[in-house]
């Protein structure tokens, strides 16, 4: 501890997250320099890479494109400004639930995983379910690009940074490589405060992700190829050959390109240029590497030719709105440090930010146990601490697991939900649990419980919907506690079931169509008719549009596809195109736009299977033209199969 005169008088050892720690000092000026350098490097790299994002060929950039007055807007930084606001709103106890709330309040991006997660969040689903359910983009780069805020707010504490990164990533990448990518970068960048060796930093990052995940395998191979003497272009080709993906935002290949620039780069400039010239998700690779190098070098060591064009302005994309964004890097840095001081104290890290004493680390960073309990958490359910709002030491814990089909139910259909209610208090709990269902629905009867401390009730409850299933259906789990055989108090946990779409589907044998309920937007012929042979597969439904509106209807497919609206062919894609079920960038041949009247409309989809299992998503989204920034959002009130 430190007395009032700033003199260290004792060192208390402790174990934090598997680390053997004593009191460590982070000089406040050092803290400022590292954080400012990281944000500046992020701006530099993002501005360099943004104009060529998505180009898959080997590039030959040597400098920025022609710039406006300052840096280019970039979601790599935009979202982290929102997360800083979230930290300021909710403090160190921030979790995925609060981050999900921030998405719906302040983020109006439609891109890939963002669009799917936002649609789920807007329907009342919570992370990790909101980040997993129906989302085909969980392996992508939307979350690895958001790592710096957690590293900078948990300086020298990679175990803390990785946990925040996990909470962040499961909002829109639950169950995918995007989670591992963000944890890797957050741990590595947090360790920069106490470790400067490149290879050691990469190894620290790798301890925070599963060793058999695609991201770790790509990085291990890249490190080996570098040691074996392959040049950077050869290493790039090997990454694409062994770990590449047709989607330019796929995380493992892009994380490897980021580290490739670092391994082969001979200077800041050379490193970010090598990363960006690998192509693919160029704003992400250059921005993350720019941040890492900016943290290592500090702002004064970054080349003026790269610093001067971007300056210290912070530019925010118009669809990111409704919160006090920092005006410049100085304000961003100071606000980051302010939250970092709170986090270091709240997590009992043994790290003190001091205005005068020199930086002195007393942590054995290699002693941390891998966070396997995070990796092993399921994504098909949500956990609640009771009473709700509890930060630590809850009286009870509830898990609501929807199973592999997710939180969806069809009209007149039944589903089973697994509830686990655990006594986390120090005394026995008695009472009952029950469900409150929408009018006309039915379900399992209430269950009496008597639980000793640490005991759990496992209850698989059946729920049957009426024929009136809305797009969003609110249910409640009710915990009624008794004392001395009398009612004592009641706690309610709200949860959501969305409407499954109903289709009549048939296979290539020309047999009679069968009704099938699809939990999300993917047409799953395999489950309905046993899709195994090539030929033409059909699906028919009635779409109910509640209001006259401009709409883009997408039939994203990995095969030739036709979509008929009220008997008219409006999509006729006769080619097999790269599968891209994104709201904003589906292939032009696989979408059309119109002003659609309110009411019911007949939809028929035909897809031609030719050797590979079918992937077809049918999506109703807004057009580019909206009254407020934030286009191509999903219409959650459209019903399928009425």
Dist. CA 510–CA 347, nearest whole Å: 63
Would you say residue 19 has pLDDT above 80? no
Judge whether residue 13 has pLDDT over 70: no
Contacts of 355 (CB under 8 A, 6+ apart): 27, 28, 29
pLDDT value at residue 18: 41
Q: Is the pLDDT of residue 284 over 60?
A: yes
**Residue among 405, 408, 402 nearest 381 (CA):** 402
- What number is the average pLDDT over the span 554-578? 98
Task: Enumerate the domain spans of the chain.
Answer: 23-362, 383-498, 501-640
Which CATH superfamily includes the segment(s) 23-362?
A: ADP-ribosylation/Crystallin J1 (1.10.4080.10)
Q: What is the pLDDT of residue 129?
A: 98
- Report the mean per-residue pLDDT for the chain: 94
Q: Work out the average pLDDT over 249-272.
A: 98
| pTM for the model | 0.95
Q: Quick one: pLDDT at residue 367?
A: 47
Instruction: Give 563's strand partners.
Output: 571, 605
pLDDT in tens, 51-94: 999 999 999 999 998 888 889 898 999 999 999 999 999 999 99
> Does residue 492 register a pLDDT over 80?
yes
Strand order across the 363-364 sheet: 14-16, 19-21, 363-364
CATH dotted code for 501-640: 2.60.120.380
Radius of gyration of the chain (CA): 26
| pLDDT confidence band for 9 (50 / 70 / 90) | very low
Interval 433-446 mean pLDDT: 98
pLDDT at residue 125, rounded to an integer:
98
pLDDT at position 2:
35
What is the percent of the chain where pLDDT is above 70? 96
Is pLDDT at 20 greater than 50 in this prediction?
A: no
What are the φ/ψ torsions at residue 235 (nearest 5 degrees)?
-65, -40
Output the pLDDT for position 511: 78
Asked if the model's pLDDT at residue 1 lies above 80, the reply is: no
The pLDDT tens digits for 301-338 are 999 999 999 999 999 999 999 999 999 999 999 999 99
At 126-155, the pLDDT tens digits run 999 999 999 999 999 999 999 999 999 999
Round to whole Å and give the CA distance between 606 and 110: 26
* Predicted local distance difference test score (pLDDT) of residue 368: 63
Asked whether residue 12 carries a pLDDT value surpassing 50, the answer given is no
Looking at CATH, the fold of the domain delimited by 383-498 is given as Immunoglobulin-like (2.60.40)
What pLDDT sits at residue 411?
A: 96
The residues, any chain, with a CB within 8 Å of residue 104's CB and separated by 6 or more, are: 118, 121, 122
Question: Has 283 been labeled as part of a binding site?
Answer: yes
346-359 average pLDDT score = 96
Structure confidence at residue 17 as a pLDDT band (50, 70, 90): very low
Write down the H helix ranges in 175-318.
177-191, 198-206, 214-227, 232-243, 251-264, 268-277, 282-297, 304-307
Is a pLDDT exceeding 50 seen at residue 106? yes
Q: Give pLDDT, residue 365.
A: 56
**pLDDT for position 115:** 98
Share of the chain above pLDDT 90, in %: 91
CA distance 306 to 268: 10
Of 447, 448, 493, the C-alpha closest to 474 is 493
Query: Around Cβ 575, how many Cβ atoms within 10 Å?
Result: 10
Supply the pLDDT for residue 66: 85
221 is in an annotated binding site: no
Annotate 440-451 with b (16+ C-beta within 10 A) or e (fewer).
ebebbeeeebeb
* Lowest mean pLDDT segment, chosen from 1-5, 95-99, 503-507, 625-629: 1-5
- Residue 9 corresponds to which tokens in the numbers above? 């008088």
């Amino acid at each position: 501890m430190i007395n009032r005169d700033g003199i260290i008088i004792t060192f208390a050892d402790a174990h934090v997250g598997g680390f053997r720690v004593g009191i460590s000092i982070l000089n406040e000026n050092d803290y400022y320099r590292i954080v400012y350098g990281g944000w500046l490097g992020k701006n530099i790299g993002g501005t360099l890479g943004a104009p060529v994002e998505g180009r898959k060929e080997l590039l030959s950039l040597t400098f920025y494109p022609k710039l406006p007055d300052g840096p280019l807007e970039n979601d790599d930084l935009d979202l982290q400004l929102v997360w800083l606001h979230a930290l300021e709103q909710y403090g160190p106890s921030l979790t995925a639930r609060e981050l999900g709330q921030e998405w719906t309040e302040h983020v109006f991006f439609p891109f890939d995983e963002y669009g799917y997660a936002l649609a789920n969040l807007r329907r009342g689903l919570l992370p990790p379910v909101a980040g997993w359910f129906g989302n085909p983009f969980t392996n992508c780069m939307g979350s690895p690009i958001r790592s710096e805020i957690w590293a900078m707010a948990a300086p020298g504490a990679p175990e803390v940074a990785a946990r925040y990164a996990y909470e962040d990533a499961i909002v829109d990448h639950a169950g995918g490589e995007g989670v591992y990518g963000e944890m890797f970068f957050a741990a590595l960048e947090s360790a920069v405060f106490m470790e400067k060796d490149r290879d050691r930093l990469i190894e620290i990052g790798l301890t925070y992700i599963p060793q058999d995940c695609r991201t770790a395998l790509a990085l291990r191979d890249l490190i080996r190829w570098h040691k074996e003497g392959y040049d950077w272009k050869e290493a790039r080709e090997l990454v694409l050959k062994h770990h590449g993906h047709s989607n330019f935002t796929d995380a493992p290949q892009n994380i490897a390109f980021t580290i490739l620039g670092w391994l082969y780069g001979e200077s800041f400039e050379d490193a970010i240029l090598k990363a960006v010239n690998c192509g693919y998700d160029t704003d992400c690779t250059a921005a993350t590497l720019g941040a890492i190098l900016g943290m290592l070098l500090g702002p004064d060591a970054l080349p003026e030719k790269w610093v001067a064009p971007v300056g210290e302005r912070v530019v925010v994309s118009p669809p990111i709105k409704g919160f006090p964004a920092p005006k410049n890097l100085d304000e961003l840095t100071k606000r980051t440090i302010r939250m970092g001081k709170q986090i270091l104290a709240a997590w009992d890290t043994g790290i003190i930010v001091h205005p005068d004493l020199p930086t002195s680390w007393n942590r054995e960073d290699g002693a941390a146990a891998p966070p396997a309990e995070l990796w092993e958490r399921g994504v098909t359910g949500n956990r609640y601490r009771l009473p709700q709002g509890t930060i630590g030491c809850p009286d009870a814990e509830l898990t609501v697991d929807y199973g592999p089909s997710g939180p969806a139910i069809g009209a007149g259909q039944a589903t089973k939900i697994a509830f686990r209610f655990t006594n986390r208090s120090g005394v026995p709990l008695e009472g009952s649990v029950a469900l409150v269902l929408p009018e006309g629905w039915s379900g399992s009867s209430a269950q009496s419980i008597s639980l000793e401390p640490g005991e759990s009730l496992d209850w698989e409850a059946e729920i049957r919907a009426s024929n009136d299933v809305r797009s969003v259906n609110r249910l409640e789990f009710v915990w009624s506690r008794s004392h001395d055989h009398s009612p004592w108090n009641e706690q309610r946990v709200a949860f959501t079931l969305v409407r499954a779409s109903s289709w009549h589907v048939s296979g290539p044998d020309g047999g009679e169509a069968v009704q099938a309920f699809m939990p999300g937007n993917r047409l799953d012929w395999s489950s309905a008719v046993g899709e195994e042979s090539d030929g033409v597969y059909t699906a028919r439904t009635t779409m109910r549009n509640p209001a006259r509106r401009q709409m883009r209807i997408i039939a994203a497919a990995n095969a030739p596809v036709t979509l008929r609206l009220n008997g008219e062919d409006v999509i006729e894609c006769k080619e097999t195109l790269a599968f891209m079920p994104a709201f904003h960038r589906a292939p032009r041949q696989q979408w059309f736009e119109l002003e659609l009247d309110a009411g019911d409309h007949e939809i028929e989809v035909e897809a031609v299977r030719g050797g590979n299992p079918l992937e077809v998503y049918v999506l109703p989204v807004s057009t580019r033209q909206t009254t407020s920034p934030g286009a191509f959002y999903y219409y959650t009130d459209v019903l399928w199969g009425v």
